[in-house]
Structure formats: structure tokens, C-alpha cells
Structure 1
């Protein structure tokens, strides 16, 4: 199933989710709804709410107020993490727009992130379900620990692939795992189905971030919604850079180490690194790994006989869509000279 077919199939549901998203961040303190509107109008495909909607329908549950509210929960948490990450990373552009911390300041970005988390907790408390609270608590802890893990190794190149994947799971995949899990829990499905959905969300989420990490080096800035090389210039060691470092000779290793420590590196250094990555097929390695995680995600869906099996195609279609997002820019294929 193509992604546009999936969004068309769930268009009515997503419209209702969007209405409730906006309704629930209203406050009589003007800054909250003002920045809230700015964030929600800033784009995004609502992948996490969509995962929840499809997962719940796959388990035989039709749209309800509770399903919509929990879609808002995962989207609020996701938005809050972006607001906080942008402060930590001093990011100025996201989804082709000025970030909240750049436009209103870091204090506002942190406070609005906190506000969205509070709104998420309020929505959870409106429909008390111990299993859902437990799932949310687990995922929230993993998510925050991911930020701490990444921060504790900031600008360090001597890490392992396992470390990179652990950060990817914690910071990105954990909330996608939760989105799928909540769909099953809301449908009161059996544990085997819940586990299958969690496995899909986890593996899908890891693949999603691995592809994003590749696109940071060779993606189209228009599609990315931010300049190419943002993570590299901020000193984040993601899998493509780590793979290059592990394959590099001592001279290139030294250059990479200096780049990571330098907060003033620019396009020339990025182009040089991308060319070196192409030589050792670092980007292809990361994409192949992403494909393997997508394969695991699809296999997980086939491990249980869901009440509405025809909707497996929707989750599989989203998995196919994220790999199709990778469209290398022509600029990334242009050879450069050394730095």
C-alpha cells in the first residue's frame, strides 16, 4: 500500500486527531497556544499517531475518543522532545522554519516542551488504564535516558555501533514502539499481539532514524526541512560517520577527530567527509542495516493472526515509505578536493 493511499484511508481519523491536538494545548496564558500553533503548523506527517491508529484498527478497534486522545499523547511527547533537543543542540532550523528556541528563546522552548508533556499526562489521566500508564512510564524513561546517553558521549568518536543503535532506539524508536503498543492496549488485545506490535514499532523506529542519519549527509535539504550536515556540524556521531571512522587510516581518523571537536566546521569539511563515506560505502552500509530492521518489522506483523489482517498492508506500506524517502541530492555526488 502506497503512503498516499494510507493517509487517504485514515484521512478522517487524522483530521479528528488534528482538531483534538489543537484543542488540548489551549491555555489562557497566550504564549502556550501561540507557540503551540506555530509548532503544529510547522509540518510533519503525524507518523506516530498514524502508527497508533493503524495498530488499533489492526486489532479490531474502531476510532474513539480514547484512541484520539492517545494519538495526541504520543505526538505531544514527540514534539516536546524536539523542543528540548533543539535547545541542547542549539538548532535554528527545523522543517524549513525557525525553531522555537531561535524565535522565542531557549527558556520558552523548554517551558513549552514541559507544557506539552503535562498535557500528555493530563490526557492519560482522563482515561486511567494501569497497563497504559506502565507502558507510557517505561517509554518516557527510555526516551529521556537516550538523551542523557547521547549527551554523555557528545563529540566522542570512540564509541561502538551498539552505542549508536542504543541511542537510536531510546531517542526515536521507543516512542514509535509505544505508539504501536498503545494501539494494542486500547484494543485490549492479547499479549502476543501487543508484543508483535511493539516489535514492529521498535524495528521500524530504528530504521526510520538510520535513514534520517544517512539523509543528514546526502539528503535533499528541501525534503529534510533543514540544512544537510546539521548533525555532523553539531558533533553528533551517527552510524555513517562511525562506520567511516572504523574503516579509516590513521590520517583520516585524526581528521575526523578534529572535525568532531570543532564547532566551527562548515560545508567544505562536510563535502570532504561525504566523499570519504562514498569511498567506503558508509551510507550504503547504514541503509542496508535500515532495510534489515524494516524486514524484521514486517516479520513481526506476521507472527500473529490479527482481527483485521488486511491492515497489515498499511503498516508495511509505511515501512516501505520511509526507505523511499531517501533521495540523495545531486550535490552529494559531486567530488571534492581534500581539506
Structure 2
């Protein structure tokens, strides 16, 4: 099974989620629906709502209104995190379009992000299942902690690989993992089933972000939908740069140290670092680790008995798509749609 087959199988379900997304940000404050509509129309494949749908199906519950609403709530949390991240990082382009903070200003971006979080909470509170509320609020807490953790170590070239992976787990894996977990909880998954899908989500989320970190150094703007080298220019030490620094000779180390302190990185500086990453195989190292996480994510799904095991293939296909859309297309000049 391939990703396009998953999309086809879920076509009507995803349409229901999309309808819910576009209905639930309504407000009598005109700026809110205006910005929300712009944000939600900027692309993306709704991977997190898709995981909610597949988690529910795998554990025996077909898509109904409750599953759709929870998919919508998760997408709102994701969108809010992007709005806030773009302010912190002063990002001006995402998915090939101006960010909300670039178009309307940081205050509007933060406030609409807050609104989407509040809408997500209200949607979840309609059913008020304690375990679901706890799972989502814990994941949100971990996500925010990850952002703060990353912020406090910005421009610190001496961070460890463990720190980098911890930030990835907190900022990306937490929300991806709780997405598939929500589907399972809605289907009254057994403890064994819940453990398996949480583990899948954790590792899938790790691979997801590692691929993005590799692409940030290994693709141009037409591929990324945003300027390349954003992490480098903002002083974020992601795995490719960490690997390069730890394998570099002393003169190159000194150069990297100077670059990471410089807030005015040029295109020439970026291309030099990318060249060194290819020389030291730092991008390959990152891709290989992502491949490890993809394979381990898929293996977790084989450790439990599920009511509808055919959906394991669907989750496999989503995981493989995340890897292939980066690793397979990074040299092909194919535009990569942000997820």
C-alpha cells in the first residue's frame, strides 16, 4: 500500500474533518476567522487528524462525529503551535506563503493561536472523557516545554545529541503520538494496543522531525516552501549541524562556533556549511537515524492484536511516505508540501 491509497481510502473521512476544521473557528471577532481561514488554507496533508482516524479504525471504531471532532481538535493544537513558533523564530515564510506574523503581526499570530487552543479544549470538553483530556493536556504541556527547552539552548553548539532528540520528542513526537493514541482511546483500546500505538507515534514523530531537519540543509526554497537553512540562521543546533561539529577538525569547529553566534548568516555561509555536511556525511547520518525510527515505529504495531489489523498497512504507508517524500525527493527538485 502507498500513501495515495491511504488518502483514497480516507477521502470521505478527511473531507468530514476538513469541514469540521473550517466550521469550528467561527467567531464574531472578524480577525479570528480571517486569519484562521488563511492559515488552514495554506496547505498540509492533515497528518495528525489522519492518525486520529487510523488509530480509531485500527482499534475497531469507524469514523463518526466524535472521531472527526477529535481530529479537528488536534489540528487546531498543531496550527496554534505553528503560529507561536513562527513568532518566536521570526519566521516569515511557511508552505510557500507569508506566515501570519509576517502578514498581520506577532500580536495577532499569538492571539489567534491562543484562540485555536481554546477551541480545541472546548471541542474535547464536549465529550469530557478524562483519559482523553489528560492525554492531550499532557502532550500539550510537553510540547510547550520542548519549545522553552530549545529556546534556552539557542546558539549553544555544545548541546548533546540526547538534548537534540529530547527537543524533537517534546516539540514534535508528543503531538503526533497523542494523535494516534486519541483514536485508540476513542475505540476503547486495550492496554496492549494503546502501548503499541503510542510507541508507534513516538518513533514516527522522531523520524518526521529528523527528516525536516535534514531537508533544511539539503533542499532549496522551491522544494521546502520556505527559505533553506532556517535553523542555521536562527541559531538552532539540529542533528546535522551537531554531527558536523562533533566530527570536524579544530579549524572547522572554530568556523562553526563563529557561525552559530552570528545573527547575519549569508547564503555563502550556508552553502559552505552544507558542503561540509556532505563531506562529513552529516545529512546521511540524520537520514539513517530517521530510517531507524521509521523501522522501529512499524515494528511496534506488530506487538499487539488489533480488531482491524489491515490498518497497520495504512500506518506503515504514512510512515514510509514521510521518509520517501524527503529522502527520495530531496535530489529530484520536487516541491515538498508541509505537513
Query: Does the TM-score normalized on the shorter chain lie above 0.5?
Result: yes
For residues 244-270 of structure 1, the C-alpha deviation after alignment (integer angstroms, 9 at most, x for no partner) is 000011111111111111111021011
Gaps of 5+ in 2: 334-339
* Cα shift at 1:233: 1.0
State the distance in 2 between where 1:169 and 1:222 align: 28
* 1:334 paired residue number: none
Say yes or no: does 1:328 pair with 2:330. yes
* Cα shift at 1:328: 2.7
Structure 1 segment 136-285 matched on structure 2, within 5 A: 136-285=136-285
Say yes or no: does 1:74 pair with 2:77. no
State the distance in 2 between where 1:43 and 1:71 align: 16
State the distance in 2 between where 1:277 and 1:122 align: 46
* Cα shift at 1:305: 1.1
State the distance in 1 between where 2:266 and 2:331 align: 18
Structure 1 segment 29-68 matched on structure 2, within 5 A: 29-68=29-68
State the distance in 1 between where 2:228 and 2:29 align: 36
SS in 2 for 1:25: coil
For residues 13-61 of structure 1, the C-alpha deviation after alignment (integer angstroms, 9 at most, x for no partner) is 0000000101100001000000010000000010000011111001110
State the distance in 2 between where 1:164 and 1:146 align: 10
Count of residues in Structure 1 that have an aligned counterpart in Structure 2 = 331
Range moving further from structure 2, 261-270 or 219-228: 219-228
State the distance in 2 between where 1:42 and 1:263 align: 28
State the distance in 2 between where 1:266 and 1:307 align: 54
State the distance in 1 between where 2:182 and 2:35 align: 27
For residues 136-157 of structure 1, the C-alpha deviation after alignment (integer angstroms, 9 at most, x for no partner) is 1210111010001000101111
Contact 1:220 1:329 in 2 (8 A): no
For residues 152-209 of structure 1, the C-alpha deviation after alignment (integer angstroms, 9 at most, x for no partner) is 1011110000000000000001000000110110001111101100000110000000
State the distance in 2 between where 1:29 and 1:294 align: 43
* 1:337 paired residue number: none
Contact 1:80 1:112 in 2 (8 A): yes
* Cα shift at 1:283: 0.6
Say yes or no: does 1:21 pair with 2:13. no
* Cα shift at 1:330: 7.3
* Cα shift at 1:227: 1.2
Give the structure-2-normalised TM-score. Answer: 0.96
* Cα shift at 1:222: 2.4
State the distance in 1 between where 2:15 and 2:57 align: 16
Contact 1:220 1:328 in 2 (8 A): no
Range moving further from structure 2, 252-261 or 204-213: 252-261
Give the structure-1-normalised TM-score. Answer: 0.96
SS in 2 for 1:22: helix
Gaps of 5+ in 1: 332-339
State the distance in 1 between where 2:52 and 2:126 align: 18
Alignment RMSD? 1.0
Range moving further from structure 2, 304-313 or 319-328: 319-328
* 2:336 paired residue number: none
